[in-house]
Structure 1
Amino acid sequence: MKKENEGLIKQFTGIQEELLPQVKLENNFYKEEISLVAGVDLAYWENDTKHYGTCCIVVVDYHTMKVVEKVHSYGEITVPYIPGFLAFRELPLIIEAAKKLKSSPTVYMFDGNGYLHYRHMGIATHASFFLKKPTIGVAKSYLKIKEQDFTMPKQEAGAFTDIIIDEEVYGRALRTTKGVKPIFVSCGNEIDLATSTEVVMNFINNESRLPIPVRLADLETHKVRKELKDNL
């Protein structure tokens, strides 16, 4: 840990601890109401020693799988990368991009963690307080907490194992497609883990182990980053 980050870590930890009691791992909606799901992802680059980022949000119809809307934001990143506090680095761009949406997503799905986090405050959870919508965390790699490994799910689509640390469920390892590595799903806020898993599986096709909104947001960040790097 860099000494100059000690003050930020103390400040950020305090904010996370203040928000945590407000997290609700239960649905604040009826599942039949899900109509639009937004995928959120960010990408970064450097230019003349400065750090820049772009946030892309892709809204997809829950039933038809068609893209309804795409928006993005970009800007200089001034908060350093500190493990466990990624939200403070990413939130300004996420909020700016979300303000551009004309549609109103029922749920936001993040390329990152939610409750599966050292202090239960991954980007999906933290962002929910600004987006005012249910959120889901979908991570491609496993965040090991307290040296706790996960149990590999069975080799079948939809198989999962819960990630339990100190007798508490943090999230689950979900195998979305037979023969591929699992992804790691966790509640963000205002949604339960069963519904989070159901929403993720609804968006799985034969093109990727990732749900469509997250995969499209990821692809969009690479495209937008290239355009911005070439023009800034």
Structure 2
Amino acid sequence: MRASRPDLEPDPTLSRKEMETLQREIADAAVFEDRFEFDPETLSNPLEAAVSGREPPTVVGVDQSFLTNEAGEQDRALSAVVATRGGEVIERVHAVTPLESPYIPGLLSFREGRPILAALETLSVEPDLLLFDGSGRIHFRQAGIATHMGVVLDVPSVGVAKSLLCGTPRESIENLPAGACVPIEANSRVGVTDGTLLGYAVQTRQYDSPDRHINPLYVSPGHRVGPETAANAVLELASSYKLPEPVRLADAYADEAKRDLGC
């Protein structure tokens, strides 16, 4: 698959100020509402797809691992992509590319974006929905990696983060029951009006014990998906694990590919 907006691709040679300016441009180009053609009810349920007469959408999970040189320094990214349809894996691809930027909070896409685009370019199927291990609109400039990649590719995308980068939960997120969704609103750290709905804390799984608990995921729209649909999609795609299955499979595939390389 090719970039729809190559002019917005992450450029790790930019200055920090230029990167932040580009992120604001990406946020302006992003669509944080539902604009897709697939039926969300068929995301992981082939029976529902059969009843509706529509083929389940192709949902692609994206994750990364990193390779080190002889000095023990991370110098390459391994980007893993797993395409699923109706809960079944239909394609797996990965790419290994040089790391061109250090990790800087809030600028993750300039470190990982080019490697991800390299892997997605080798994918033969067309994604209906991309799920990223990272933020979407829950970001200081509303342009996390899911938003950046979604806009560049013009594909519906969702960010699934394990920690809250910014924003404020509308209520407590401690020990939420499975299936609960708590709105995350913009605060003064986000470049949008305070109180704007950015996404949700989504509790996909929870222990049945008062002494142990699982933290929620922080789910936000990347592009062409609204916050409610993003949260519902993650709940629908999570099976026996905390992460939605396409992202979990991409994470496992990244480890597998790394082992195959002897790393």
Q: TM-score, normalised by structure 1?
A: 0.88
- Partners in 2 of 1:18 and 1:25 — Cα distance? 14
- Partners in 2 of 1:47 and 1:117 — Cα distance? 31
Matching residue of 2:261 = 228
Matched, 1:117 2:139: yes
Matching residue of 1:140 = 162
Matching residue of 1:205 = 239
Partner residue of 1:71 out of 74, 93, 96: 93
Matching residue of 2:250 = 217
Provide Cα deviations, 1:86-109, integer angstroms capped at 9, x if missing partner.
Answer: 101111111111111111110000
How many pairs are equivalent?
221
Matching residue of 1:105 = 127
Q: Secondary structure at the match of 1:144?
A: coil
CA contact (8 A) 2:198 2:227 kept: no
Letter in 2 for 1:163: I
Letter in 1 for 2:83: V
- Give, in angstroms, the shift of residue 191 of structure 1: 0.7
Matched, 1:131 2:143: no
- Give, in angstroms, the shift of residue 224 of structure 1: 1.5
Matching residue of 1:38 = 60
CA contact (8 A) 1:153 1:161 kept: no
Pairs within 5 Å for 1:52-67: 52-61=76-85, 63=86, 65-67=87-89
Matching residue of 1:19 = 26
Provide Cα deviations, 1:113-155, integer angstroms capped at 9, x if missing partner.
Answer: 000011111000000122220000001222235xx46631673
Matched, 1:169 2:175: no
User: Which has more strand, going by share of residues?
Assistant: 1
Letter in 1 for 2:199: G
CA contact (8 A) 1:153 1:173 kept: no
Provide Cα deviations, 1:59-79, integer angstroms capped at 9, x if missing partner.
Answer: 111x3x110100000111011
Provide Cα deviations, 1:146-193, integer angstroms capped at 9, x if missing partner.
Answer: xx4663167332111001122111211011123332111000011111
Q: TM-score, normalised by structure 2?
A: 0.78
Provide structure 1 residue ranges, at least 5 long, that are not aligned to the other structure. Answer: none
Q: Structure 2 vs 1, CA of residues 153 and 31 (structure 1 numbering), >3 Å: closer, same or farther?
A: farther
CA contact (8 A) 2:138 2:166 kept: no
- Give, in angstroms, the shift of residue 227 of structure 1: 2.6
Letter in 2 for 1:164: E
Aligned-pair identity in percent equals 32
- Partners in 2 of 1:55 and 1:111 — Cα distance? 11
Provide Cα deviations, 1:24-43, integer angstroms capped at 9, x if missing partner.
Answer: 11111244275110000111
- Partners in 1 of 2:230 and 2:82 — Cα distance? 18
Provide structure 2 residue ranges, at least 5 long, that are not aligned to the other structure. Answer: 1-11, 40-53, 187-193, 208-213
| Greater shift in the superposed pair: 67-76 or 30-39 | 30-39
Matched, 1:186 2:220: yes
- Partners in 2 of 1:113 and 1:52 — Cα distance? 22
